[in-house]
Amino acid sequence: MKLLIPATLALVAVASSVDAQKYCGRDDFKVVGDYTVYNILWGEDNDKTGGQCTEVTGSTSSSVSWKTSFNWAGDNWPVKSYANAALKFQPKQVSAIKSIPTSMEYTYTYDGHIIANVAYDLFTSSSESGEVENELMVWLAALGGPWPLTDSGKPIKTVNIGGVDFDLFQGMNKKVKVFSYVAKKTAYKFSADLKKFFNELPTNNTLPQTQYLVKLEAGTEPFQGKNGEMIVKSYSSKDNDKTGGQCATVDRSSGSDIAWQTSFNWAGDNWQVKSYANAALKFDPVQISNVTSIPTTMEYTYKYDGNIITNVAYDLFTSPSIGGETAYELMVWLAALGGAWPLTTTGQPIKSVTLGGVEFNLYQGWNNKTKVFTYRQEHGHELHGRPEAVF
């Protein structure tokens, strides 16, 4: 990669905060990194005067912070809504999942009486895109005495996971078999491996390990509540690959360019970046208004066996001051192999441009408090299954 940069180069910009905005519609949602935060109002017809609004308050590369507020009356038995953060991932057979590390910390406030839970909700199917056949819930809270679906009214097992005691109930929701782990005491801070809840299902009352995990959500289901508010300080779920690795080697360098290579083996979930081998330029920061140009060249090859999900990208960061925190990130993806996807709040490009003879779509998203702009090439550079290509 060759970068020719004038002495007056600047990477300095104005700081920006998280683009927080409430959304209150029945099926409204916001995409933030690896999560989609929903404001689902599936039972609102039971209370025509009630409502709920949700707001994303922050995110990192692996977690999201959000809050929801509601007022619900009506009958005390139907769930009115389920504000939740859903993880984006490729469906995977339960038997192939090594672990699902998760953590959540939240507060819950309300006036007077409330009936609500705080729960993880995981769904499985016999195929990657088939109908849901099993549901596994993990209730961290049962505020006001809501009751899980149960055939017998009694727990079928008691377990301790993540330092929390749970009673396991089993019931049916039409054709869907539902397992509910209900915490005996409210857990406002929880960290554990969700795979353990699958492992703890009784051998005589379980789900097939060949089932695919197709959804993983976490949020709150209120039945009734006045001025209810759940503030999720931090939530994350992931499936790390502990067996992979990467190495990099510098082949040669001169005063103006460098040649290097990297090799890797990564499995795990397909939504999490595992590494970033890169060549970083050394320079003194100066303001963007003083930058006349940043000429660059790069030529590379990419080899792999089977499937791959990766990008080839420039990554530029700006700050409101020299030595300050990053406020903006600008990425230029020369390749999006295997359908890799940038951070985006809408899932749609905000602009299309041609630079250096390459067509790019521009996306905008957030990484915690950093506003991220990503130019993603759309044609002509993806491998489309070929084992090797030169760009």
125 — phi, psi (to 5°)? -145, 160
Just give the CATH number of 2-13+243-390. Answer: 2.60.120.180
Which residues, listed in sequence order, are joined to residue 259 by a DSSP beta bridge? 252
Residue 63 in tokens: 């977690």
List of the chain residues with pLDDT < 70: 1-20, 239-244, 268-271, 379-391
The percent of the chain in helix, strand and coil, each rounded to the nearest 5, is: 5, 50, 45
Start-end of CATH 2.60.120.180 domains in the chain = 2-13+243-390, 33-237
CA angle, residues 96, 32, 194, in degrees to nearest 5: 30
Identify whether 359 is a catalytic site residue: no
CA angle, residues 374, 28, 82, in degrees to nearest 5: 120
Q: What is the C-alpha to C-alpha distance for residues 111 and 150, in angstroms, rounded to an integer?
A: 29
pLDDT of residue 66: 98
| Catalytic residue chosen out of the listed positions 133, 217, 221, 329 | 221
Note the pLDDT tens digit of each residue in 11-56. Answer: 233 222 345 689 999 999 999 988 999 999 999 999 999 999 999 9
Residue pair 197/100 in contact (Cβ under 8 Å)? The answer is: no
**Which residue's entry shows tokens 């927080």?**
20
Just give the CATH number of 33-237. Answer: 2.60.120.180
Residue pair 306/296 in contact (Cβ under 8 Å)? The answer is: no
Q: How far is C-alpha 114 from the chain's CA centre?
A: 30
Note the pLDDT tens digit of each residue in 290-349. Answer: 999 999 999 999 998 888 999 999 999 999 999 888 899 999 999 999 888 899 888 899
Residue 29 in tokens: 């949602």
Q: What is the C-alpha to C-alpha distance for residues 196 and 167, in angstroms, rounded to an integer?
A: 14
Residue 381 in tokens: 């550079």
Residue 331 in tokens: 């990425």
| Catalytic residue chosen out of the listed positions 135, 200, 299, 382 | 135
> Residue 195 gets which letter from DSSP?
H
Q: What is the C-alpha to C-alpha distance for residues 166 and 62, in angstroms, rounded to an integer?
A: 27
pLDDT of residue 1: 33
Q: What is the C-alpha to C-alpha distance for residues 366 and 169, in angstroms, rounded to an integer?
A: 39
Name the strand (E) or helix (H) holding 170: strand 164-173
How distant, in Å, are the alpha carbons of 30, 91, 105, 307, 327 from that of 330? 21, 30, 31, 27, 10
Identify whether 131 is a catalytic site residue: no
pLDDT of residue 18: 44
